[in-house]
Amino acid sequence: MVRNNINVLSQTTIDKIAAGEVVERPLSVVKELVENSIDSGATAISVEIKDGGKTFIRVTDNGCGIPQEELSRAFLRHSTSKINDASDLMDIHSLGFRGEALSSISAVSRVELISKPSEQFMGCKYVIEGSKEESVEEVGAPDGTTIFVYQLFYNTPARRKFLKSDTTEMNYIVEMIENLALSHPDISFSFIANGKEKIHTAGNGILKDCIYQIYGKEITSSILSVHQEDEDFIVDGYIGDSTIARGNRNLENFYINGRYIKSSLLSKAVENGYIGFLMQHQYPFCLLNIKTKNANVDVNVHPTKQEVRFDDEIHISDMIYKIVSDKLNNREDIRDVTAGKDEEVKVPKEPSIIDEIEYKSVQPFEASRLNTIKEKLVSEIHKDSPYERQYKDFYESKATNDNGQNANIGSTTAFQQQKMVYEQTSFLSEEAKKSHKIIGQLFDTYWLIEYDEKLYIIDQHAAHEKVLFEKTMKKLGEKQMTSQMISPPIIVSLTTKERNVLNEYMDSFVQLGFVLEDFGGNEYAISGVPANLFSLDTQAVFLEMLKDCEEIKPTDSSELVLEKVASMSCKAAVKGHDKLSILEAEELITDLLALDNPYHCPHGRPTIIAMSKYELEKKFKRIV
């Protein structure tokens, strides 16, 4: 074996190795620089890139700036203004603190920095390339800092070779800036790529405005505000209603003390709160800002600081679950549909945008249109809303005030003093039930009900599933589940996988009313079934439930497992095309509307949708 001598690496090599750990791609550069801008107290940050950030990056802010005498020191390794010693590491409120960003960036690119603190008359331009200082000179400059980064990885071509396409690298940066903008609605963000503006936020401090500018009208009109506080945490933000769902978790956003994080713990808590509101493999929208008070949160779990560890995971998980569950439950959630279109149109339950009113907080409305807009909003609410809702200030729009300046409608005296609250009789109320008019059944599946100038459509299978599920859960809670015995017992043969699943969830099956015993080999004897399943094919239902159990996550709590298994037991529900008499339909509808949350079946499908008389008349051209 050949023994290599131990050598002391040159400073150039050390800098390049360190840069490789901090600067992975253009995204890394932009992230470090923008976070520094945020920490500097900036209220406006502009980012510009070319070629995905490979050839050019510019970050400009109006923050506190860097004094001339500290510029060269800022590019030394482990130089930082954000901590003084190790004791500060557990009380970090800035986005960055390691002091490696500028040093690492300058090691693999050419950097020009122009900065001016407000107290200084002149600014300073500092140029450094490959960790070597090139020049320092006084220049005229506005307050704040601008950093130019040219030809990233010019001296480490192997790193540059592994970068992805310009579009992909740009998209990484877009996602990061969106996350920062959503966590700092009081900062105006601008992002320009190859001369075209991709992102612009107002920075007016209104989170809902920022959500609109990032996600658009459809999502913004269907979100619900949340707030909860205890001795350890303050949680603020928004969650989506049941109409917002995606096949991935891209719409789940979590922030700890202003820092964007990824957390399977928080995702699971939110998704558990949506059980029964979304279909399987659908994920909700949420944007939750979590501020710590007395709780310990370790932000140093991962080098990118995007993962955190909570001192009391059960506490925060239960808190998030309860926030989501409480907000979604006990609120009317009947979906309004537009005749002849697949898209759903809802009158939102929160401060919202009426379809005909274009909502752009960065564009002023003419003052003369304010009353017209307000009257139109009021008219639409009365016309299309047959159930109670509360509307807060119509702050989403911008108006032009008497002086011709851009002014927020919500900040004007008239709109501050007027809370637009309209209460009408709920479709589910006892008073409303007296006026329900059952028109009949459509396609032997859907029941049609006329009420208050709306047509309500109820899916009999989804409705019956929901009724059976709620009855099952109530009996489980009261320990009143009954079993129907079978003689002789039914013998079922299970695969090894099925046996393992049954053994894991045996307690839940027993609580539901199954009576099971090992019959030897791969066989089990079923001598009792839940009373509500007695009329069905016992073996087929049992095997189907076992298969459904494979979808249960290992981390689910015992209560959640039981709830999921209970939802599988709704096999006795009437199906589509099953004939029901008017009396049977009336009984089913009465049972459904008596539930706290009758709007979704246990699997997340809607049980009720509605179509207004107004929409029908538009379709028949009675209204143009």
Strands of the sheet containing 608-612, edge to edge, are 335-336, 608-612, 454-459, 446-451, 437-442
Angle between helical axes of 496-512 and 460-477 (0-180°, round to 10):
70
Question: What CATH superfamily is the domain 464-572?
Answer: MutL, C-terminal domain, regulatory subdomain (3.30.1370.100)
Angle at 533 between CA 527 and CA 537, to 5 degrees: 75
Specify the pLDDT at position 278: 85
Specify the pLDDT at position 141: 94
Specify the pLDDT at position 371: 46
Q: In sequence order, what DSSP letters do the residues of 155-186 get, joined into one string? A: T-HHHHHT---HHHHHHHHHHHHHHHHHH-TT
Q: Greater confidence, 559 or 208?
A: 208
Q: Is residue 462 packed enough to be buried (19+ CB in 10 Å), middle (13-18) or exposed (0-12)?
A: buried
Q: In sequence order, what DSSP letters do the residues of 445-483 get, joined into one string? A: TEEEEEETTEEEEEEHHHHHHHHHHHHHHHHHHTT---E
Task: Count Cβ atoms below 10 Å from residue 247 Cβ, excluding itself.
Answer: 8
With 80 as the cut, is the pLDDT of residue 385 above it? Answer: no
Instruction: Give the distance, in angstroms, between the CA of residue 75 and the centroid of all CA atoms in the same chain.
Output: 37
Characterize 516-532 residue by residue with b for buried, 16 or more Cβ atoms within 10 angstroms of its Cβ, and e for exposed. beeeeeeebbbebbbeb
Specify the pLDDT at position 2: 60
With 60 as the cut, is the pLDDT of residue 237 above it? Answer: yes
Q: What ranges do the domains of the chain cover?
A: 11-200, 222-328, 346-422, 464-572
Q: What type of residue is 286? A: C
Find residue 486's DSSP bridge partners.
none
CA-based R_g, the chain, Å = 30
- Token pair 């612009």 is at which residue? 200
Q: pLDDT tens for residues 136-162?
A: 999 999 999 999 999 999 888 888 888
Specify the pLDDT at position 376: 47
- Whether 82 contacts 97, CB under 8 Å: yes
With 90 as the cut, is the pLDDT of residue 55 above it? Answer: yes
Percent of the chain's residues with pLDDT above 90 = 29
How much is the pTM? 0.65
Give residue 183's pLDDT band: very low, low, confident or very high (50, 70, 90). Answer: very high
Which stretches does DSSP call E strand in 482-550? Answer: 483-493, 515-518, 523-530
- State the DSSP code for 351: S
Specify the pLDDT at position 537: 79
CA 473 – CA 588 distance, rounded (Å): 18
With 50 as the cut, is the pLDDT of residue 597 above it? Answer: yes
Find residue 191's DSSP bridge partners.
47, 199
> What φ, ψ does residue 321 adopt, rounded to 5°?
-60, -45
Q: Name the helix (H) or strand (E) containing 15.
A: helix 11-22
- HSE-up of residue 398 (Cα within 13 Å, Cβ side): 14
- Whether 105 contacts 153, CB under 8 Å: no
According to CATH, what is the number of the domain 11-200?
A: 3.30.565.10
Answer whether 11-200 and 464-572 agree in fold. no
Options 3.30.230.10, 3.30.930.10, 3.40.720.10, 3.40.50.300; CATH for 222-328 is 3.30.230.10
The two three-digit tokens of residue 163, written as one number = 């970068």
Q: pLDDT tens for residues 491-544?
A: 998 888 888 888 888 888 888 888 998 888 888 999 888 887 776 778 888 888
Cis geometry, peptide bond prior to residue 488 (ω within 30 degrees of 0)? yes
